[in-house]
A and B are shown apart, each in its own frame.
Chain A
Amino acid sequence: MVAIQFDKVDIVFGERRKQALALLDQGKTRDEILAETGAVIGAAGIDLAVERGEICVLMGLSGSGKSTVLRAVNGLNPVARGGVSVRHDGAPVEVTDCDADRLREIRMRTVSMVFQQFGLLPWRTVRENVGFGLEIRGMKAAERRRIVDEKLAMVGLAQWADKHAHELSGGMQQRVGLARAFATDADILLMDEPFSALDPLIRDKMQDELLELQRRIQKTILFVSHDLDEAMKIGNKIAIMEAGRIVQCGTAEDILLRPATPYVAEFVKHTNPLNVLRGHSVMTPACSVRRDDGTVLLDRDGLVRMRVDAGDRPVGVEVNGREGSLGRVNGNAGAFDTPCDIIVAPVELKLATTIALKRKTDHPIIFVDAEGKLAGLCGDDEIYGSLLRRSA
Chain B
Amino acid sequence: MYDWLTEHKIPLGPWIKSFVDFLNQHLQWLFDGISLVLGTLIEGLTGLLLATPPLLLTALFAALAYFLHRSVKLAAFTFVAFLVVINLGYWQPTIETLSLVIWATLVCVAVGVPLGIAAAHRPWLYAGIRPILDLMQTIPTFVYLIPTLVLFGLGVVPGLISTVIFALPAPIRLTHLGITSVPTQLREAGEAFGATKRQLLYKVELPHAMPTIMAGITQCIMLSLSMVVIAALVGADGLGKPVVRALNSVNIGMGFEAGAAIVLLAIVLDRVCKRPERKAGGR
Contacts and interface: CB of A to CB of B under 8 A. Distances in A.
Q: Do A and B bind each other?
A: yes
A74 B192 contact: yes
A296 B220 CA distance: 91
A69 B283 CA distance: 27
B185 A119 contact: yes
Interface in A82-121: 104-109, 111-113, 115, 117-121
A165 B194 contact: no
A337 B195 CA distance: 55
Interface string B263-283: 000000000000000001111
A380 interface: no
B60 interface: no
B186 interface: yes
The SS class assigned to the B binding surface is helix
A137 B195 CA distance: 8
A133 B186 contact: no
A370 interface: no
Contacts, number: 71
A384 B195 CA distance: 55
B203 interface: yes
A132 B193 contact: yes
Most chain B CB atoms below 10 A, which of A106, A122, A167:
A122
A337 B236 CA distance: 94
B32 interface: no
A166 interface: yes
A76 B189 CA distance: 10
B194 A133 contact: yes
Contacts of A133: 193-194
Nearest to A75: B191
Given A107-B192, A119-B185, A132-B193, A166 B281 contact: yes
B207 interface: yes
A136 interface: yes
A75 to B, nearest CB: 8
Interface in A126-170: 132-133, 135-137, 164-167
A203 to B, nearest CB: 19
The SS class assigned to the A binding surface is mixed
Most chain A CB atoms below 10 A, which of B185, B188, B192, B283:
B192
Interface in A39-76: 74, 76
A119 B280 contact: no
Contacts of B199: 136
B61 to A, nearest CB: 29
B196 interface: yes
B204 interface: yes
Contacts of B208: 121-123
A117 B186 CA distance: 10
Most chain A CB atoms below 10 A, which of B189, B191, B194, B282:
B194
Interface in B151-208: 185-186, 188-196, 199, 203-204, 207-208
Nearest to B192: A113
A31 to B, nearest CB: 26
Nearest to B191: A76
B279 to A, nearest CB: 9
Contact of A76 (B186, B188, B210): B188
Interface residues of B, number: 21
A321 B106 CA distance: 101
A166 B189 contact: no
A354 interface: no
Nearest to A134: B193
A184 interface: yes
Given A121-B204, A123-B208, A136 B193 contact: yes
Contacts of B280: 164, 166-167
A156 B73 CA distance: 42
A180 B282 CA distance: 19
Nearest to A133: B193
Contacts of A121: 186, 189, 203-204, 207-208
Interface string A173-207: 00000001000100000100000000000000000
B4 to A, nearest CB: 47
Contacts of A117: 185, 283
B193 A115 contact: no
Contact of B207 (A76, A119, A123, A190): A123
Contact of A184 (B185, B193, B203): B193
A119 B188 contact: yes
A108 B282 contact: no
Contacts of A124: 207
Contacts of A106: 194
A106 B194 CA distance: 8
Contacts of B193: 107-108, 112-113, 132-133, 136, 180, 184
A167 B188 CA distance: 23
Interface of A: 74, 76, 104-109, 111-113, 115, 117-124, 132-133, 135-137, 164-167, 180, 184, 190
Given A122-B208, A136-B199, 15 more contacts: A74-B192, A105-B194, A107-B191, A107-B192, A112-B192, A113-B192, A113-B193, A115-B185, A119-B185, A119-B189, A121-B204, A122-B283, A123-B207, A124-B207, A180-B193
8 contacts: A119-B186, A119-B189, A121-B186, A123-B210, A132-B189, A132-B203, A166-B281, A166-B283
A-B interface, 8 closest residue pairs, ranked by CB to CB distance from nearest: A166-B282, A107-B194, A108-B194, A119-B189, A122-B282, A133-B193, A113-B192, A104-B194
